[in-house]
Structure 1
Amino acid sequence: MNKGFLPGETFLDRSKVLAEQGPRLRELLAALPARLNELLARAVAVVRARFGGKISYASLPFEGVDWTPFDCISTDAGYRYAQVADRFPELIRAFVARGRALGKLVAITEFGCATYRGAADAGPRGGDVIAWDEATATPLGLKGEHARDEAEQASTLRELLEIFDAEGVDAAFAHVFAAYVLPHDPDEPRKDLDLASTGVVRVRKDGTWEPKEAFSMLAGHCGRRSSTSARS
């Protein structure tokens, strides 16, 4: 998301670079860890001079982060999309084991699901059903027809949280509370951009919001965890 690590002036430009295959991408990714870890080491030093809490970095698998200066290892790879669904618990277990071996806390800093039927299989690419105006970076509408399915979104988040709990993850952050650029349109399904949103609330055109099923599920799950902690 930051300029300077990958070619491209905009996030969309840099995303296209990551979608490439071949020697150029391999060369770019090979050079990334050293440059990234140099920046992170300097950033941690600045943060620790001003902040007394735990520090982490929401990483992506290809970044090769050196976790030495951090208190917690973290990944945004908390999506159980179709290609990894059968081994997803194993992947989470391995990430937790890595953190424990380093003596660090473990966090999943991004997990979620869009709000249409079949979005769970798409995982982080659930938003690909949106057609974008590349010049203005604004959504134009939905590609094709998609059925709203708040129950699938809620059940997917619940199942992911159960996996994280079972594998010993210390903290997990749902993506995202609200997607304000993807408003809900109850009258025109093809313009109901909220279907592509991982937000746990629906954003109205006036900017206000109302909870989805996932919001209530998360509230209940967190409430149970708090009660269990208090009793124990």
Structure 2
Amino acid sequence: MISRKTFLKSVAGAVAVTSLGGGMAEAAGKPRRLRGGVAYDAGVLHAAGEPLSRVRWSRGQLEREIRVIADELRCPSITAFGTDVGRLAETTSTALRRGLEVYVQPRLYDHPQDQVLDHLAETARQAERLRHGDDVKFVTGCEHLLFTPGIVPGETYLERIANMATIPPEEWPKIMDRLADFLARAADVARRNFRGRITYASIGGAEPVDWTLFDIVGIDYYPYFATDAEYTKDLAQYRKWGKPVMVLEFGSCTFTGAAQAGGMGWDIVDYEQVPPRIKPGHVRDEREQADHLARLLRVFTEAGLRGAHVYTFIAPDLPHRPDRPEFDLDMASYSLVKTLRARQDDDNSPYRFERKLSFGALARHNRG
């Protein structure tokens, strides 16, 4: 599997060549305190024939979890992401009743582009029906460079990620042209079906986006820098458009070294084993996850961003095993809570969750 570092390095030249300018930086001044939100997984179809990433689903469970997000974490907003349009609508409606702002993000991986756009249009229509004023935003998909076929060679997103390191430099301008064409089509579909503000969940540092197509600059942000000043410098590139900047995903897994692993932290699980297990050499570390979230929330506030969503609230498909560290899949999770299932090997098993140290870090930040 290609590392995120290798992936970003492989596309850096293309981004530098094809980046689009525009807009003036936002006016300087004392930044308002940014209250962190969360990304909420309503169930993603990762491969044909497989169940959604959240197999077990009920209204009672949804309402309990959204209540915790609103009342205990005091989040102002969520990104509701998933494949099932009905679940996305249910999540959005539940969150709105709790006073949360919702960024609705459809995800349909490895389907033909026309099907991806049809799915986007259907979700946008549902989001428009639920919108009152500016309480719902629409996200025109997630990291299409990786998850949508026809831009980078490869039938599946895993193949496309693996192919990144072998693409000749002269091919990248063509790839970026294909990405730009698809994003323009996606923005047009969103505008025709949704009258509120729209954005896109871009790969931070790797997808050159023409943000004139969107109302909000949206990024999934997983780089690691040793100093806050380096983060501030890196984030400045997104403010040149003169538009609000929203971090739709950021976070860390739950092991020592996870902050530096960033968006590839999930890759510590050996899925070739039955049952899957954590690769040797990794140690559970809730403190590192909590400290990283607290640090970035402070950085995002100082950078004057509109908001930021921790990825993610819960990951029931990565249950915690306090008695067997080698099977503690929660170490590879970015979630704020750890899932304890009644039956470890059953994705449809009833579960309860316990709050991690990162949960407390977000709650304390939001209380100010």
Q: TM-score range by the shorter chain?
A: 0.7 to 0.9
Describe the superposition over 1:85-141 as per-residue Cα deviations: whole angstroms up to 9, x where unpaired. 77222111x22432xxx221111222101111221122222222211239xxx9721
Q: Report whether the alignment pairs 1:64 with 2:208.
A: yes
Aligned position for 1:160: 296
Aligned position for 1:17: 163
1:139/1:175 Cα in 2 relative to 1: closer, same or farther (>3 Å)?
farther
Q: Is the 8 A contact 2:322 2:328 kept in 1?
A: yes
**Aligned residue runs from structure 1 range 177-196, under 5 A:** 177-196=313-332
| Partner Cα separation in structure 1 for residue 180 and residue 300 of structure 2 | 27
- SS state of the match for residue 194, structure 1? helix
Where in structure 1 are there 5+ consecutive unaligned residues?
225-232
Q: Report whether the alignment pairs 1:97 with 2:236.
A: no
**CA root-mean-square deviation:** 2.3
| Partner Cα separation in structure 2 for residue 81 and residue 119 of structure 1 | 13
| Pairwise CA distance, 1:50 | 2.5
| Pairwise CA distance, 1:44 | 1.6
Aligned position for 1:213: 357
Q: Is the 8 A contact 2:218 2:247 kept in 1?
A: yes
Q: Among 154, 160, 182, which residue is 1:8 paired with?
A: 154
- SS state of the match for residue 121, structure 1? helix
- SS state of the match for residue 56, structure 1? strand
1:196/1:124 Cα in 2 relative to 1: closer, same or farther (>3 Å)?
same
Q: Is the 8 A contact 2:321 2:340 kept in 1?
A: yes
Q: Report whether the alignment pairs 1:127 with 2:127.
A: no
Higher RCO (CA 8 Å, separation ≥ 6 residues): 2
The structure in which a higher percent of residues are helix is 1
> Identity rate of aligned residues, in percent?
38
Aligned position for 1:88: 231
**Aligned residue runs from structure 1 range 28-47, under 5 A:** 28-47=171-190
| Pairwise CA distance, 1:218 | 1.4
| Partner Cα separation in structure 2 for residue 104 and residue 74 of structure 1 | 10
TM-score scaled by length of structure 1: 0.82
- SS state of the match for residue 198, structure 2? coil
| Pairwise CA distance, 1:160 | 0.4
TM-score scaled by length of structure 2: 0.53
1:26/1:65 Cα in 2 relative to 1: closer, same or farther (>3 Å)?
same
Where in structure 2 are there 5+ consecutive unaligned residues?
1-146, 342-348
Q: Is the 8 A contact 1:78 1:112 kept in 2?
A: yes
| Partner Cα separation in structure 2 for residue 81 and residue 147 of structure 1 | 22
Q: Is the 8 A contact 1:79 1:111 kept in 2?
A: no
| Pairwise CA distance, 1:72 | 1.1
Describe the superposition over 1:34-60 as per-residue Cα deviations: whole angstroms up to 9, x where unpaired. 222222222222212222322111112
